[in-house]
Chain A
Amino acid sequence: MANEAAIINVVARTSLWLQPHRIVLILIALGLVLGAIFFMRWDWLPQYYEMGLLGIWRSLWILAVTCVLGFLFAVPLGLAQATGSFWFAAPAKVFCTVIRGTPLLIQLWLLYYGLGSLFPQYPWIRESWMWPYLRQAWPYGVLALTLSFAGYEGEVMRGAFAGVPKGQLEAARAFGMSRWKIFRRIWLPQAFYRALPTLTGETVLQLKSTPLVATISVIDIFAVSSKVRQDTYLTYEPLLLLALIYMTITGILVFAFSRIEARIPNKIG
Protein backbone atom coordinates (compact mmCIF):
# COMPACT_ATOMS: atom_id res chain seq x y z
CA MET A 1 0.00 0.00 0.00
CA ALA A 2 2.70 2.42 1.01
CA ASN A 3 4.52 1.58 -2.21
CA GLU A 4 1.48 2.41 -4.35
CA ALA A 5 0.98 5.70 -2.55
CA ALA A 6 4.60 6.60 -3.16
CA ILE A 7 4.31 5.79 -6.87
CA ILE A 8 1.14 7.90 -7.21
CA ASN A 9 2.92 10.69 -5.37
CA VAL A 10 5.89 10.55 -7.74
CA VAL A 11 3.60 10.51 -10.79
CA ALA A 12 1.68 13.52 -9.47
CA ARG A 13 4.87 15.40 -8.82
CA THR A 14 6.38 14.69 -12.24
CA SER A 15 3.17 15.64 -14.03
CA LEU A 16 3.17 18.90 -12.07
CA TRP A 17 6.74 19.54 -13.12
CA LEU A 18 6.44 18.32 -16.71
CA GLN A 19 3.77 20.74 -17.86
CA PRO A 20 3.25 20.95 -21.66
CA HIS A 21 5.18 24.22 -22.08
CA ARG A 22 8.11 22.77 -20.15
CA ILE A 23 8.22 19.78 -22.48
CA VAL A 24 8.40 22.19 -25.42
CA LEU A 25 11.15 24.21 -23.72
CA ILE A 26 13.12 21.05 -22.95
CA LEU A 27 12.78 19.94 -26.58
CA ILE A 28 14.03 23.34 -27.77
CA ALA A 29 16.97 23.11 -25.36
CA LEU A 30 17.75 19.58 -26.59
CA GLY A 31 17.60 20.87 -30.17
CA LEU A 32 20.08 23.63 -29.30
CA VAL A 33 22.43 21.14 -27.64
CA LEU A 34 22.23 18.70 -30.57
CA GLY A 35 22.76 21.58 -33.00
CA ALA A 36 25.83 22.61 -31.02
CA ILE A 37 27.14 19.05 -31.07
CA PHE A 38 26.66 18.50 -34.81
CA PHE A 39 27.25 21.93 -36.31
CA MET A 40 30.15 23.15 -34.17
CA ARG A 41 33.69 21.83 -34.29
CA TRP A 42 34.62 19.41 -31.52
CA ASP A 43 37.50 17.55 -33.23
CA TRP A 44 40.01 19.22 -30.91
CA LEU A 45 38.51 17.50 -27.87
CA PRO A 46 40.57 14.24 -27.90
CA GLN A 47 43.79 16.22 -28.15
CA TYR A 48 43.08 18.44 -25.14
CA TYR A 49 41.14 15.88 -23.12
CA GLU A 50 43.92 15.07 -20.64
CA MET A 51 44.97 18.68 -20.25
CA GLY A 52 41.34 19.59 -19.56
CA LEU A 53 40.99 16.97 -16.83
CA LEU A 54 44.20 18.21 -15.22
CA GLY A 55 42.86 21.76 -15.41
CA ILE A 56 39.57 20.76 -13.75
CA TRP A 57 41.50 18.93 -11.04
CA ARG A 58 43.66 21.98 -10.42
CA SER A 59 40.64 24.34 -10.24
CA LEU A 60 38.93 22.04 -7.74
CA TRP A 61 42.12 21.72 -5.72
CA ILE A 62 42.54 25.49 -5.50
CA LEU A 63 38.85 25.83 -4.58
CA ALA A 64 39.08 23.24 -1.79
CA VAL A 65 42.36 24.50 -0.31
CA THR A 66 41.39 28.19 -0.35
CA CYS A 67 37.92 27.55 1.10
CA VAL A 68 39.25 25.45 3.99
CA LEU A 69 42.16 27.78 4.79
CA GLY A 70 39.94 30.82 4.31
CA PHE A 71 37.32 29.45 6.70
CA LEU A 72 39.95 28.67 9.34
CA PHE A 73 41.14 32.26 9.03
CA ALA A 74 37.58 33.63 9.03
CA VAL A 75 36.77 32.11 12.46
CA PRO A 76 39.22 34.28 14.42
CA LEU A 77 38.29 37.26 12.23
CA GLY A 78 34.60 36.82 13.05
CA LEU A 79 35.27 36.13 16.73
CA ALA A 80 37.48 39.20 17.07
CA GLN A 81 34.82 41.41 15.52
CA ALA A 82 31.93 39.91 17.48
CA THR A 83 33.42 39.91 20.98
CA GLY A 84 37.04 41.03 20.96
CA SER A 85 38.32 44.21 22.54
CA PHE A 86 38.83 47.24 20.33
CA TRP A 87 42.47 46.30 19.65
CA PHE A 88 41.40 42.95 18.17
CA ALA A 89 38.18 44.10 16.54
CA ALA A 90 39.54 47.15 14.69
CA PRO A 91 42.27 45.36 12.66
CA ALA A 92 39.83 42.58 11.76
CA LYS A 93 37.27 45.15 10.65
CA VAL A 94 39.87 47.00 8.57
CA PHE A 95 41.02 43.74 6.96
CA CYS A 96 37.46 42.76 5.99
CA THR A 97 36.72 46.25 4.61
CA VAL A 98 39.90 46.35 2.53
CA ILE A 99 39.38 42.85 1.10
CA ARG A 100 35.72 43.50 0.32
CA GLY A 101 36.38 46.98 -1.06
CA THR A 102 39.01 46.11 -3.67
CA PRO A 103 38.70 43.82 -6.70
CA LEU A 104 40.20 40.35 -6.32
CA LEU A 105 42.02 40.84 -9.62
CA ILE A 106 43.91 43.83 -8.18
CA GLN A 107 44.73 41.92 -4.97
CA LEU A 108 46.03 39.03 -7.04
CA TRP A 109 48.16 41.26 -9.25
CA LEU A 110 49.39 43.24 -6.23
CA LEU A 111 50.59 40.01 -4.62
CA TYR A 112 52.01 38.35 -7.73
CA TYR A 113 53.48 41.23 -9.73
CA GLY A 114 53.92 43.67 -6.82
CA LEU A 115 55.34 41.52 -4.03
CA GLY A 116 56.83 39.16 -6.58
CA SER A 117 58.90 42.02 -7.98
CA LEU A 118 60.03 43.14 -4.51
CA PHE A 119 61.17 39.76 -3.18
CA PRO A 120 64.19 39.15 -5.47
CA GLN A 121 65.78 42.37 -4.21
CA TYR A 122 66.45 40.82 -0.81
CA PRO A 123 69.22 38.19 -0.79
CA TRP A 124 68.03 36.61 2.48
CA ILE A 125 64.70 35.76 0.85
CA ARG A 126 66.41 34.30 -2.18
CA GLU A 127 68.57 32.09 0.01
CA SER A 128 65.72 30.90 2.23
CA TRP A 129 63.81 27.62 1.83
CA MET A 130 60.76 29.60 0.67
CA TRP A 131 62.35 30.82 -2.54
CA PRO A 132 61.50 27.77 -4.75
CA TYR A 133 57.83 28.37 -3.84
CA LEU A 134 57.94 32.15 -4.14
CA ARG A 135 59.19 31.85 -7.71
CA GLN A 136 56.06 30.00 -8.79
CA ALA A 137 52.66 31.52 -9.45
CA TRP A 138 50.30 29.22 -7.58
CA PRO A 139 51.25 30.21 -3.98
CA TYR A 140 50.25 33.79 -4.79
CA GLY A 141 46.98 32.61 -6.30
CA VAL A 142 46.20 30.45 -3.27
CA LEU A 143 47.14 33.26 -0.87
CA ALA A 144 45.01 35.86 -2.67
CA LEU A 145 41.96 33.60 -2.90
CA THR A 146 42.35 32.50 0.74
CA LEU A 147 42.51 36.10 1.99
CA SER A 148 39.51 37.01 -0.16
CA PHE A 149 37.42 34.10 1.16
CA ALA A 150 38.47 34.95 4.73
CA GLY A 151 37.48 38.59 4.26
CA TYR A 152 33.99 37.83 3.00
CA GLU A 153 33.36 34.89 5.33
CA GLY A 154 34.80 36.76 8.35
CA GLU A 155 31.96 39.23 8.01
CA VAL A 156 29.45 36.36 7.90
CA MET A 157 31.02 34.65 10.91
CA ARG A 158 30.80 37.92 12.87
CA GLY A 159 27.04 37.85 12.50
CA ALA A 160 26.90 34.12 13.19
CA PHE A 161 28.94 34.35 16.40
CA ALA A 162 26.93 37.34 17.61
CA GLY A 163 23.67 35.54 16.79
CA VAL A 164 24.19 32.58 19.12
CA PRO A 165 21.72 33.05 21.99
CA LYS A 166 23.39 34.20 25.21
CA GLY A 167 21.43 31.64 27.24
CA GLN A 168 23.22 28.73 25.60
CA LEU A 169 26.63 30.12 26.50
CA GLU A 170 25.47 30.90 30.05
CA ALA A 171 24.12 27.38 30.42
CA ALA A 172 27.46 25.98 29.27
CA ARG A 173 29.24 28.15 31.81
CA ALA A 174 26.84 26.99 34.50
CA PHE A 175 27.82 23.41 33.65
CA GLY A 176 31.37 24.40 34.53
CA MET A 177 32.78 24.11 31.01
CA SER A 178 36.06 25.89 30.40
CA ARG A 179 36.11 28.78 27.93
CA TRP A 180 37.82 26.68 25.26
CA LYS A 181 35.32 23.86 25.74
CA ILE A 182 32.38 26.28 25.46
CA PHE A 183 33.85 27.59 22.24
CA ARG A 184 34.51 24.13 20.81
CA ARG A 185 31.27 22.44 21.88
CA ILE A 186 28.65 25.20 21.77
CA TRP A 187 29.69 28.46 20.24
CA LEU A 188 31.53 27.33 17.11
CA PRO A 189 29.03 24.60 16.06
CA GLN A 190 26.05 26.91 16.59
CA ALA A 191 27.72 29.71 14.62
CA PHE A 192 28.69 27.24 11.89
CA TYR A 193 25.07 26.04 11.52
CA ARG A 194 23.97 29.65 11.18
CA ALA A 195 26.65 30.45 8.61
CA LEU A 196 26.08 27.30 6.53
CA PRO A 197 23.47 28.65 4.08
CA THR A 198 25.67 31.66 3.25
CA LEU A 199 28.67 29.32 3.14
CA THR A 200 27.10 27.61 0.11
CA GLY A 201 26.83 30.93 -1.69
CA GLU A 202 30.36 31.94 -0.71
CA THR A 203 31.77 28.64 -1.99
CA VAL A 204 30.02 29.08 -5.33
CA LEU A 205 31.36 32.66 -5.50
CA GLN A 206 34.82 31.32 -4.70
CA LEU A 207 34.51 28.78 -7.53
CA LYS A 208 33.62 31.64 -9.85
CA SER A 209 36.75 33.55 -8.72
CA THR A 210 39.17 30.68 -9.41
CA PRO A 211 39.53 31.47 -13.16
CA LEU A 212 41.28 34.71 -12.15
CA VAL A 213 44.42 32.73 -11.25
CA ALA A 214 44.78 32.05 -14.98
CA THR A 215 45.83 35.72 -15.34
CA ILE A 216 48.97 34.99 -13.31
CA SER A 217 49.84 31.94 -15.43
CA VAL A 218 48.41 29.16 -13.26
CA ILE A 219 47.12 26.45 -15.62
CA ASP A 220 43.58 25.84 -14.37
CA ILE A 221 40.59 24.86 -16.51
CA PHE A 222 40.08 28.45 -17.67
CA ALA A 223 43.71 28.67 -18.85
CA VAL A 224 43.27 25.38 -20.73
CA SER A 225 40.27 26.79 -22.57
CA SER A 226 42.24 29.95 -23.42
CA LYS A 227 45.02 27.77 -24.81
CA VAL A 228 42.53 25.84 -26.95
CA ARG A 229 41.18 29.13 -28.27
CA GLN A 230 44.66 30.32 -29.14
CA ASP A 231 45.67 27.07 -30.81
CA THR A 232 42.53 26.35 -32.82
CA TYR A 233 41.19 29.89 -33.49
CA LEU A 234 37.79 28.70 -32.25
CA THR A 235 35.87 31.27 -30.19
CA TYR A 236 32.67 29.71 -28.95
CA GLU A 237 33.24 25.97 -28.54
CA PRO A 238 35.86 26.06 -25.74
CA LEU A 239 33.98 28.83 -23.93
CA LEU A 240 30.64 27.02 -24.11
CA LEU A 241 32.22 23.81 -22.83
CA LEU A 242 33.92 25.82 -20.07
CA ALA A 243 30.61 27.37 -19.02
CA LEU A 244 29.05 23.90 -18.96
CA ILE A 245 31.88 22.59 -16.75
CA TYR A 246 31.50 25.44 -14.25
CA MET A 247 27.71 24.97 -14.21
CA THR A 248 28.14 21.27 -13.48
CA ILE A 249 30.57 21.93 -10.63
CA THR A 250 28.22 24.59 -9.21
CA GLY A 251 25.31 22.13 -9.37
CA ILE A 252 27.31 19.44 -7.56
CA LEU A 253 28.45 21.94 -4.89
CA VAL A 254 24.92 23.23 -4.24
CA PHE A 255 23.58 19.66 -4.06
CA ALA A 256 26.33 18.56 -1.66
CA PHE A 257 25.79 21.54 0.63
CA SER A 258 22.03 21.01 0.66
CA ARG A 259 22.67 17.42 1.82
CA ILE A 260 24.93 18.67 4.61
CA GLU A 261 22.35 21.30 5.58
CA ALA A 262 19.64 18.63 5.75
CA ARG A 263 21.67 16.71 8.35
CA ILE A 264 21.77 19.62 10.74
CA PRO A 265 19.16 19.78 13.51
CA ASN A 266 16.84 22.49 12.25
CA LYS A 267 15.68 24.01 15.51
CA ILE A 268 18.27 26.65 16.22
CA GLY A 269 17.79 29.93 17.98
Chain B
Amino acid sequence: MIELLSPNPPGWGGTLLLGLLHSIEIALGATCLGLLIGTGGAFGKLYGGPVVRDLLAVYTTIVRAVPELVLILLLYYAGTDLINQALTAMGYQRVDISGLAAGIAVLGFVQGAYSTEVIRGAILAIPQGQIEAARAYGMSPGLMLRRITLPAMLPFAIPGLANLWLIATKDTALLAVVGFYELALATRQAAGVTKAYFTFFFAAAVLYLLLSLVSNFLIGRVEAWSRRGMPSLKEAR
Protein backbone atom coordinates (compact mmCIF):
# COMPACT_ATOMS: atom_id res chain seq x y z
CA MET B 1 0.00 0.00 0.00
CA ILE B 2 2.87 2.35 0.84
CA GLU B 3 4.47 1.49 -2.50
CA LEU B 4 1.26 2.28 -4.36
CA LEU B 5 1.02 5.71 -2.74
CA SER B 6 4.70 6.68 -3.05
CA PRO B 7 5.20 9.90 -5.03
CA ASN B 8 7.70 8.37 -7.52
CA PRO B 9 6.59 6.67 -10.76
CA PRO B 10 6.00 3.08 -9.63
CA GLY B 11 3.64 4.59 -7.04
CA TRP B 12 0.76 6.88 -7.89
CA GLY B 13 1.18 9.46 -5.11
CA GLY B 14 2.63 12.02 -7.52
CA THR B 15 -0.36 11.66 -9.85
CA LEU B 16 -2.73 12.26 -6.97
CA LEU B 17 -0.82 15.32 -5.78
CA LEU B 18 -0.79 16.75 -9.31
CA GLY B 19 -4.55 16.16 -9.45
CA LEU B 20 -4.95 17.94 -6.12
CA LEU B 21 -2.95 20.87 -7.50
CA HIS B 22 -5.28 21.07 -10.52
CA SER B 23 -8.31 20.91 -8.22
CA ILE B 24 -6.98 23.78 -6.13
CA GLU B 25 -6.20 25.82 -9.25
CA ILE B 26 -9.72 25.34 -10.60
CA ALA B 27 -11.31 26.08 -7.23
CA LEU B 28 -9.24 29.26 -6.76
CA GLY B 29 -10.02 30.50 -10.26
CA ALA B 30 -13.70 29.65 -9.95
CA THR B 31 -13.99 31.40 -6.59
CA CYS B 32 -12.28 34.56 -7.92
CA LEU B 33 -14.51 34.60 -11.01
CA GLY B 34 -17.53 33.88 -8.81
CA LEU B 35 -16.61 36.80 -6.52
CA LEU B 36 -16.39 39.16 -9.51
CA ILE B 37 -19.75 37.99 -10.88
CA GLY B 38 -21.20 38.00 -7.37
CA THR B 39 -20.12 41.56 -6.59
CA GLY B 40 -21.49 42.79 -9.91
CA GLY B 41 -24.65 40.77 -9.45
CA ALA B 42 -25.23 42.01 -5.91
CA PHE B 43 -24.84 45.65 -6.97
CA GLY B 44 -27.11 45.01 -9.95
CA LYS B 45 -29.75 43.45 -7.72
CA LEU B 46 -29.57 46.28 -5.16
CA TYR B 47 -29.07 49.37 -7.29
CA GLY B 48 -29.84 48.23 -10.85
CA GLY B 49 -32.88 49.06 -12.95
CA PRO B 50 -35.95 46.80 -13.03
CA VAL B 51 -34.79 44.86 -16.11
CA VAL B 52 -31.34 44.16 -14.66
CA ARG B 53 -32.90 43.07 -11.39
CA ASP B 54 -35.31 40.65 -13.06
CA LEU B 55 -32.62 39.15 -15.28
CA LEU B 56 -30.35 38.62 -12.25
CA ALA B 57 -33.24 36.99 -10.40
CA VAL B 58 -33.69 34.59 -13.31
CA TYR B 59 -29.94 33.84 -13.32
CA THR B 60 -29.69 33.09 -9.59
CA THR B 61 -32.94 31.11 -9.50
CA ILE B 62 -32.06 28.87 -12.44
CA VAL B 63 -28.49 28.20 -11.35
CA ARG B 64 -29.59 27.36 -7.82
CA ALA B 65 -32.41 25.05 -8.97
CA VAL B 66 -30.49 22.92 -11.48
CA PRO B 67 -27.94 20.30 -10.32
CA GLU B 68 -24.30 21.37 -10.75
CA LEU B 69 -23.59 18.27 -12.81
CA VAL B 70 -26.26 19.20 -15.39
CA LEU B 71 -25.10 22.84 -15.42
CA ILE B 72 -21.49 21.78 -15.94
CA LEU B 73 -22.46 19.61 -18.93
CA LEU B 74 -24.73 22.30 -20.43
CA LEU B 75 -22.31 25.19 -19.95
CA TYR B 76 -19.33 23.15 -21.12
CA TYR B 77 -20.94 22.09 -24.40
CA ALA B 78 -22.76 25.37 -24.99
CA GLY B 79 -19.72 27.46 -24.05
CA THR B 80 -17.22 25.68 -26.29
CA ASP B 81 -19.80 25.53 -29.09
CA LEU B 82 -20.58 29.26 -28.93
CA ILE B 83 -16.90 30.27 -28.85
CA ASN B 84 -16.07 28.03 -31.80
CA GLN B 85 -19.08 29.27 -33.79
CA ALA B 86 -18.09 32.86 -33.10
CA LEU B 87 -14.52 32.11 -34.15
CA THR B 88 -15.53 30.40 -37.41
CA ALA B 89 -17.98 33.20 -38.15
CA MET B 90 -15.12 35.69 -37.84
CA GLY B 91 -12.95 33.52 -40.07
CA TYR B 92 -10.61 32.02 -37.47
CA GLN B 93 -9.74 28.38 -36.83
CA ARG B 94 -11.67 26.33 -34.27
CA VAL B 95 -9.81 26.03 -30.96
CA ASP B 96 -9.71 23.41 -28.26
CA ILE B 97 -10.62 25.10 -25.00
CA SER B 98 -8.20 24.07 -22.25
CA GLY B 99 -9.74 22.04 -19.47
CA LEU B 100 -8.51 24.47 -16.84
CA ALA B 101 -10.12 27.53 -18.47
CA ALA B 102 -13.37 25.72 -19.17
CA GLY B 103 -13.54 24.32 -15.64
CA ILE B 104 -12.91 27.73 -14.10
CA ALA B 105 -15.48 29.41 -16.36
CA VAL B 106 -18.18 26.82 -15.68
CA LEU B 107 -17.71 26.60 -11.91
CA GLY B 108 -17.26 30.39 -11.71
CA PHE B 109 -20.60 30.92 -13.39
CA VAL B 110 -22.24 28.60 -10.85
CA GLN B 111 -20.39 30.20 -7.92
CA GLY B 112 -21.41 33.65 -9.15
CA ALA B 113 -25.08 32.93 -8.55
CA TYR B 114 -24.49 31.84 -4.97
CA SER B 115 -22.07 34.65 -4.13
CA THR B 116 -24.52 37.20 -5.58
CA GLU B 117 -26.94 36.24 -2.82
CA VAL B 118 -24.28 36.16 -0.10
CA ILE B 119 -22.84 39.58 -1.02
CA ARG B 120 -26.29 41.12 -1.44
CA GLY B 121 -27.20 40.01 2.07
CA ALA B 122 -23.90 41.32 3.43
CA ILE B 123 -24.35 44.75 1.83
CA LEU B 124 -27.85 44.95 3.28
CA ALA B 125 -26.39 44.19 6.71
CA ILE B 126 -24.12 47.27 6.69
CA PRO B 127 -25.50 49.93 9.03
CA GLN B 128 -27.13 52.52 6.73
CA GLY B 129 -25.55 55.42 8.64
CA GLN B 130 -22.08 54.47 7.41
CA ILE B 131 -23.13 54.74 3.76
CA GLU B 132 -25.06 57.96 4.40
CA ALA B 133 -22.01 59.41 6.14
CA ALA B 134 -19.83 58.53 3.15
CA ARG B 135 -22.34 60.18 0.84
CA ALA B 136 -22.44 63.25 3.09
CA TYR B 137 -18.64 63.51 2.79
CA GLY B 138 -19.16 63.77 -0.97
CA MET B 139 -17.44 60.48 -1.85
CA SER B 140 -17.89 59.32 -5.42
CA PRO B 141 -19.65 55.92 -5.84
CA GLY B 142 -16.34 54.24 -6.75
CA LEU B 143 -14.52 55.59 -3.72
CA MET B 144 -17.45 54.73 -1.49
CA LEU B 145 -17.41 51.17 -2.82
CA ARG B 146 -13.68 50.82 -2.19
CA ARG B 147 -13.47 52.55 1.18
CA ILE B 148 -16.80 51.85 2.86
CA THR B 149 -19.08 49.28 1.26
CA LEU B 150 -16.63 46.47 0.48
CA PRO B 151 -14.64 46.59 3.75
CA ALA B 152 -17.78 47.06 5.86
CA MET B 153 -19.61 44.13 4.28
CA LEU B 154 -16.66 41.71 4.64
CA PRO B 155 -17.38 40.48 8.20
CA PHE B 156 -20.96 39.70 7.17
CA ALA B 157 -19.98 38.06 3.88
CA ILE B 158 -17.01 35.93 4.95
CA PRO B 159 -18.88 33.03 6.60
CA GLY B 160 -21.04 32.64 3.47
CA LEU B 161 -18.11 33.07 1.10
CA ALA B 162 -16.10 30.55 3.13
CA ASN B 163 -18.89 28.01 2.62
CA LEU B 164 -18.79 28.79 -1.10
CA TRP B 165 -15.04 28.18 -1.21
CA LEU B 166 -15.51 24.78 0.45
CA ILE B 167 -18.30 23.98 -2.03
CA ALA B 168 -16.00 25.03 -4.89
CA THR B 169 -13.21 22.70 -3.76
CA LYS B 170 -15.68 19.83 -3.61
CA ASP B 171 -17.43 20.72 -6.86
CA THR B 172 -14.15 20.36 -8.72
CA ALA B 173 -14.65 16.60 -8.24
CA LEU B 174 -17.73 16.84 -10.48
CA LEU B 175 -15.54 17.97 -13.37
CA ALA B 176 -14.12 14.42 -13.40
CA VAL B 177 -17.43 13.28 -14.89
CA VAL B 178 -16.88 15.58 -17.89
CA GLY B 179 -13.28 14.40 -18.14
CA PHE B 180 -11.22 17.27 -16.69
CA TYR B 181 -8.00 16.10 -15.14
CA GLU B 182 -8.20 16.75 -11.42
CA LEU B 183 -7.99 14.82 -8.17
CA ALA B 184 -11.11 12.67 -8.61
CA LEU B 185 -10.20 11.65 -12.16
CA ALA B 186 -6.54 11.05 -11.23
CA THR B 187 -7.74 8.82 -8.39
CA ARG B 188 -10.05 6.92 -10.67
CA GLN B 189 -7.23 6.36 -13.15
CA ALA B 190 -4.80 5.19 -10.47
CA ALA B 191 -7.42 2.91 -8.94
CA GLY B 192 -8.38 1.46 -12.31
CA VAL B 193 -4.81 0.62 -13.24
CA THR B 194 -3.76 -0.87 -9.90
CA LYS B 195 -7.15 -2.34 -8.92
CA ALA B 196 -6.54 -0.98 -5.40
CA TYR B 197 -9.82 0.94 -5.42
CA PHE B 198 -10.28 1.28 -1.67
CA THR B 199 -6.74 2.54 -1.03
CA PHE B 200 -6.88 5.26 -3.64
CA PHE B 201 -10.37 6.57 -2.99
CA PHE B 202 -9.56 6.63 0.70
CA ALA B 203 -6.36 8.55 -0.02
CA ALA B 204 -8.29 11.03 -2.18
CA ALA B 205 -10.87 11.51 0.58
CA VAL B 206 -8.05 12.24 3.03
CA LEU B 207 -6.52 14.79 0.63
CA TYR B 208 -9.86 16.58 0.18
CA LEU B 209 -10.41 16.52 3.94
CA LEU B 210 -6.96 18.01 4.57
CA LEU B 211 -7.71 20.71 2.02
CA SER B 212 -10.93 21.69 3.76
CA LEU B 213 -9.37 21.52 7.25
CA VAL B 214 -6.50 23.80 6.17
CA SER B 215 -9.06 26.09 4.50
CA ASN B 216 -11.11 26.21 7.70
CA PHE B 217 -8.04 27.26 9.68
CA LEU B 218 -7.11 30.00 7.17
CA ILE B 219 -10.72 31.20 6.96
CA GLY B 220 -10.78 31.56 10.73
CA ARG B 221 -7.73 33.84 10.53
CA VAL B 222 -9.24 35.90 7.70
CA GLU B 223 -12.51 36.25 9.57
CA ALA B 224 -10.72 37.47 12.69
CA TRP B 225 -8.85 39.99 10.50
CA SER B 226 -12.00 41.26 8.79
CA ARG B 227 -13.71 41.74 12.16
CA ARG B 228 -10.80 43.67 13.66
CA GLY B 229 -12.01 46.53 15.81
CA MET B 230 -15.49 45.04 16.10
CA PRO B 231 -16.78 43.52 19.35
CA SER B 232 -16.00 39.80 19.40
CA LEU B 233 -18.87 37.39 18.84
CA LYS B 234 -18.60 35.93 22.32
CA GLU B 235 -18.88 39.31 24.04
CA ALA B 236 -21.82 40.31 21.86
CA ARG B 237 -23.75 37.36 23.17
Which A residues form the contact surface with B (CB < 8 A)?
Answer: 19, 21-22, 25, 97-98, 100-107, 109-110, 113-118, 204, 207-212, 215, 222, 235-236, 239-240, 242-243, 246-247, 250-251
Contacts and interface: CB of A to CB of B under 8 A. Distances in A.
A114 B201 contact: yes
B205 A106 contact: yes
A109 B173 CA distance: 11
A109 B50 contact: no
Contact of B77 (A117, A236, A250): A236
Interface stretch (B62-70, B89-97, B143-151, B153-161): B62-70
B170 A104 contact: yes
Interface centre among B172, B184, B205 (most CB of A within 10 A): B205
Interface in B173-229: 173-174, 176-177, 184, 187-188, 191, 195, 197-198, 201-202, 204-205, 208-209, 211-213
Interface in B64-82: 64-71, 73-74, 77-78, 81
A9 B166 CA distance: 46
Contacts of B233: none
Given A110-B202, A113-B197, A239 B177 contact: no
A239 B77 contact: yes
B142 to A, nearest CB: 28
Interface magnitude class on chain B: 35 or more
Nearest to B68: A208
Q: Among the interface residues A109, A204, A242, which one has the most CB atoms of the partner chain B within 10 A?
A: A109
A110 B66 contact: no
Contacts of B55: 25
A103 B173 contact: yes
**Chain B at the A interface: mostly helix, strand, loop or mixed?**
helix
Central interface residue in B64, B67, B81, B197, by most chain A CB within 10 Å: B67
20 contacts: A21-B50, A100-B212, A101-B166, A101-B208, A102-B170, A102-B208, A103-B172, A106-B184, A109-B188, A109-B201, A110-B205, A117-B195, A117-B198, A204-B65, A211-B67, A222-B67, A239-B70, A239-B77, A243-B62, A243-B74
Given A105-B173, A117-B198, A236-B77, 11 more contacts: A21-B51, A97-B209, A101-B208, A102-B209, A113-B191, A114-B202, A118-B198, A207-B67, A208-B66, A210-B67, A247-B62
Given A110-B198, A247-B65, A250-B65, A103 B208 contact: yes
B218 to A, nearest CB: 14
Interface in B85-129: none
Nearest to B50: A21
